[in-house]
A and B are shown apart, each in its own frame.
Chain A
Amino acid sequence: MNLLVLYLLLLKAVVTSFSGLTSLPVVRHDLVEQRHVLTDRQLNAAVAAGRTAPGPNGLYIVSVGYFVAGIPGACMGCLAVMTPAFLIIPMLRYLGARADRPAVKNAIQCVMLAAAGLVVSSTVPLARDALTSPLAVGIALGSFLFLVLTRKDTLWVVLGAAIVGLLGRLL
């Protein structure tokens, strides 16, 4: 896949999201459904890799780029994650005074709500691919409850899930 096209597709996904995994539906739509250069399993693995590493949650995009085009693809992913960050500087210069306006806040809240719906919508096919046994379903439910109830770091969830998966195989 052409690296510039990959960069622009990943940039589109990042620019249309407002936090880590809300770019996921756009990535899945463009790279899994439309262009078939990524599988649901690879996208799942990218999310796991992105959440295991330190740093911003959105770095799963780097892993997506790597799956599509190796190290150059990862570099495109990294650039796509970094580029929109600089939009804040003109905003800080000119729009800072308007950040508290109710209309702006309301629009952002609705975008966040729609993003939640989109994340659930894109989780369904990924879950269909990953949750192929009762143990896997248990791990997914356990991970969800653990994160919602304890707010502990996702690193522990990933490590715990790997250990449970391994024990499930050995026993």
Chain B
Amino acid sequence: MLAVSLKGLTWIFARVGNLTFGGGNPTMAALQSELVTTRHWLDEEEYALIYALARITPGTNLLAFSAAAAWKILGWIGAVCAVLALTIPSAAVVVLLTRGYQAWNANALAMAAIGGTLAAASGMMATSAWQLLAPQIRRGRRVRAVVIFLAALIASGWFSMPPIEVLGLAALLGLLWQAPMDK
């Protein structure tokens, strides 16, 4: 096991978190390699528990995962440094991209390119919905998946029900309408 230092831990989260594209899952896989396989700062069971809890923590799974993993290794100071290291540089890039969008708003060629990215954003959002839905459409869970998906779509799209109420009702329904779990 390699020695743990706050500087070393923060650097790992900054490097892996800000240089890995594709969101949470590829980044958590890269962190597993760094923290479990290479440095043995976490064991496989701790990683699995943190990964599972990150999935049920509200907000961004990757940040919850990072906070918990760093807390397990170095306590609260580790958790705060890991979350800051993972978020601040990427957030600065997001601000620069947003400023670019505003600055090029009057340029026809730039707006044509930006128009392409805005169209792609609709495709990305549809992909996001599909990725949430697809794992649930399987034997034993199909009916519940389709019913809840359509009910949420109709409640929000047609009846303008606030999202929080839709999600709360869905959680309640999940407690009442149980489906078989994966082994």
A residues near B, CB below 8 A?
Answer: 12, 14-22, 24-26, 29, 41, 44-60, 62-63, 66-67, 71, 74, 77-78, 81-89, 91-92, 95-96, 99-100, 102-124, 126-127, 129-131, 135-137, 139-144, 146-148, 153-155, 157-158, 160-166, 168-170
Indicate if B60 sits at the interface (CB-CB under 8 A): yes
Contacts of A52 in B (CB 8 A): 97, 117
**Residues from chain A with Cβ under 8 Å of B67 in the complex:** 85-86, 88-89
- Whether A85 lies near B175 (C-beta < 8 A) is no
**Chain A proximity of B175: nearest CB distance (Å):** 5
Residues of B within 8 A of A155 (CB): 21
In contact, B56 and A104 (Cβ under 8 angstroms): yes
Q: Are A116 and B132 in contact (CB under 8 A)?
A: yes
Q: Which residues of B contact A82 (CB under 8 A)?
A: 63, 83-84, 87
**Which B168-183 residues have C-beta < 8 A from chain A?**
169-175, 177-179, 181
A106 to B132, CA, bound (A): 14
Give chain B residues whose Cβ lies under 8 Å from the Cβ of A131. Answer: 119, 122
Q: Name the B residues within 8 Å of A57 (CB-CB).
A: 23-24, 60
Q: Nearest chain A CB to B74's CB is how many angstroms away?
A: 12
- The residues in B between 125 and 183 inclusive whose CB is less than 8 angstroms from any CB of A are 125-130, 132-133, 136, 141, 144-145, 148-157, 162-164, 166-167, 169-175, 177-179, 181
**Can you report 14 A-B residue pairs in the complex whose CB atoms are below 8 A from each other?**
A16-B164, A21-B125, A44-B121, A48-B117, A54-B18, A56-B60, A62-B91, A63-B98, A81-B63, A92-B53, A114-B151, A117-B166, A143-B120, A147-B124
> What distance in Å separates the Cβ of B171 from its nearest Cβ neighbour in chain A?
5
Residue pair B79, A119 in contact (C-beta under 8 Å): no
User: CB-defined interface of B53-82 with A at 8 Å, one 1/0 digit per residue?
Assistant: 111111111111111100110001001000
* B108 contacts chain A at the CB level, 8 A cutoff: yes
Complex interface: chain B residues within 8 A of A92 (CB): 49-50, 53, 68, 71-72
Contact (A119, B125) CB under 8 Å given A29-B162, A55-B86, A106-B177: yes
A158 cross-chain contacts in B, Cβ below 8 A: 117, 120
B residues sitting closer than 8 Å to A (CB atoms) are: 17-24, 27, 49-50, 52-68, 71-72, 76, 79, 83-84, 86-91, 93-95, 97-99, 101, 108-109, 112-130, 132-133, 136, 141, 144-145, 148-157, 162-164, 166-167, 169-175, 177-179, 181
Instruction: Decide: B91 and A17 in contact? CB cutoff 8 A.
Output: no
In this complex, the member of A60, A99, A107 whose beta carbon has the largest number of chain B beta carbons within 10 angstroms is A107
In the complex, A81 Cα to B72 Cα: how many Å?
A: 21
Q: Which residues of A contact B128 (CB under 8 A)?
A: 19-22, 119
**CB of A78, distance to nearest CB on chain B (Å):** 5
- New A-B pairs, 4, CB < 8 Å, besides A56-B23, A130-B118, A130-B119: A87-B59, A114-B167, A163-B113, A166-B112
CB distance from A128 to the nearest CB of B (A): 9
Counting from the closest, the 4 A-B pairs by CB-CB distance are A165-B116, A55-B90, A117-B152, A143-B123
Asked whether, in the complex, the Cβ of B95 is within 8 Å of the Cβ of A66, the reply is: yes
B residues within 8 A CB of A103?
Answer: 174-175, 178
Question: Please, which residues of chain B bring their CB within 8 A of the CB of A107?
Answer: 171-172, 174-175
Complex contacts, B174 vs chain A, CB 8 Å? 103, 106-111
Complex interface: chain B residues within 8 A of A29 (CB)? 162-163
